[in-house]
Amino acid sequence: MTFARMALAGAVAFALSMPLATTGAQAEQTTLRITLQLPIKSHIGQNLLDFKKDVEARSGGEISVEIYDSAQLYKDSEIPKAVASGAIEMGTASSSRFVGDVPAIDIFYVPFMFNTEELVRKATEPGSPVRAPLDEAVLETGARVLWWQAYGGSVMLSNGGPIKSPADLKNKKVRVYGKTLGKWIEAAGGAPTLISGSEQYMAYQRGTVDIGMSGASGVKSRRLWDVMDTMTMTNNADTEFVVIINEKFWQALPEQHREWIAEAGRKAEKQVRDAMSSIEEAAVAEAEKAGMTVYYPTDEEIAAWGASVQPVIDDYLQNSGELGKKVYEGAMALRD
C-alpha cells in the first residue's frame, strides 16, 4: 500500500474509533464507509450509489453513506480483511478475494459450472444450497454478507486474434483473479498470473501478461480496449462481487438501522441481478464501437475447453474441504 493510501486508510480507521456525537433531541446517527476497487462509473459502483440513495432516504438522514471507489483506500485483495478487522465498516470485492478464508467460494470459478443465467440465478439466490453455506462461512471471518453483486460472465482478452482453444494458451502468461481459474489455465498449458482488477490496464499495457481475463462490464469501465484488441466470449466463469459489513459494527447498530440497511441491500441485489444481461450487452456493444473484435466460440470450441475441466474440479474438491464438497453437490443439484 502506498504512503498516501496508508494515510487515508489510517484516517478512516481513526474516524471509526471515534463515537458519533448525538444529543437527546437527535436521532442516533450511523455513517457507513464503503470501499471498492472499481471506478464509481462501473455498474458495481452505480449499484452502491443506488444503495446509498435508498438507505439515506429510508432512514431520513439517520444513516449516511460514503463511497471510496477506485481502490482509494484498499486494493480488492485487501478488502475482506479490512472489513473483518473493523478498519472500515463496509466493502465490496470479487468473491475470489475471500478464498484465503473460504476456499469453497471458488466454486464460481470452476470453469463452466454456472455458464447460463438460469444457473447463476439459482446459485446466488439467498438461501440457495450454494450461497447459504458460503455466507455462513464468510460470517465466521468477522464480516456479514449484505448482498451479492452480479458482475457477469468471464471473457478472455488478447491482441492479434481470439482465444479459440486451450492450445492458444500454451506457454502464455494469463491474467487470473482466483486460484481455481489459475488451475484451469495451468491445465491448458498456460502460466497464470494473479493481478488485481485495478492493476489490469497497466499489466496489459506493459505486457506483464499476454492474455487477459475479466468481465465484459470491466472491459467497459476500465476502457481495456485501449490495451487489448480482441474479446473472446468464453463465459468460462461467473464473476460475483460480495458486499460485506463488519459484524461487530453490525451488531452494535440500532435494530431499525439494521432493518433499513438490510432492506436497501436486498433491493440493490435484485436491481443489479435483473440488469446484468443488458449491462453486458451494452458493454460488448461499446467495446465493438471502440474498435474491439468480439468473438463468440463455437459449440465445438466450448466442448474442447470443457475437456480440460475435470482436473480443476478434482483440485477444487481436494482443497476446499467438507464445505467445498457440500457446495459442489449443491451446485450439481441445481442442474437437475
Of 302 and 320, which is predicted with more confidence? 320
> What is the value of pTM for the model shown?
0.82
> What is the tens place of the pLDDT at every residue in 175-205?
998 889 999 999 989 999 999 888 999 999 9
Q: 3-class DSSP state for residue 279?
A: helix
List, in order of start, the domains of the chain with CATH numbers.
Answer: 3-19+28-333 (3.40.190.170)
Res. 30: pLDDT tops 50: yes
Amino acid 93: pLDDT: 94
User: What's the chain's average pLDDT?
Assistant: 91
Res. 271: pLDDT tops 60: yes
Question: Would you say 13 and 68 are in contact if contact means Cβ atoms under 8 Å apart?
Answer: no
The residue assigned the cell 481513526 is 14
> What is the tens place of the pLDDT at every residue in 234-258?
999 999 999 999 999 999 999 999 9
In 271-330 the beta strands, taken as DSSP E runs, fall at 293-295
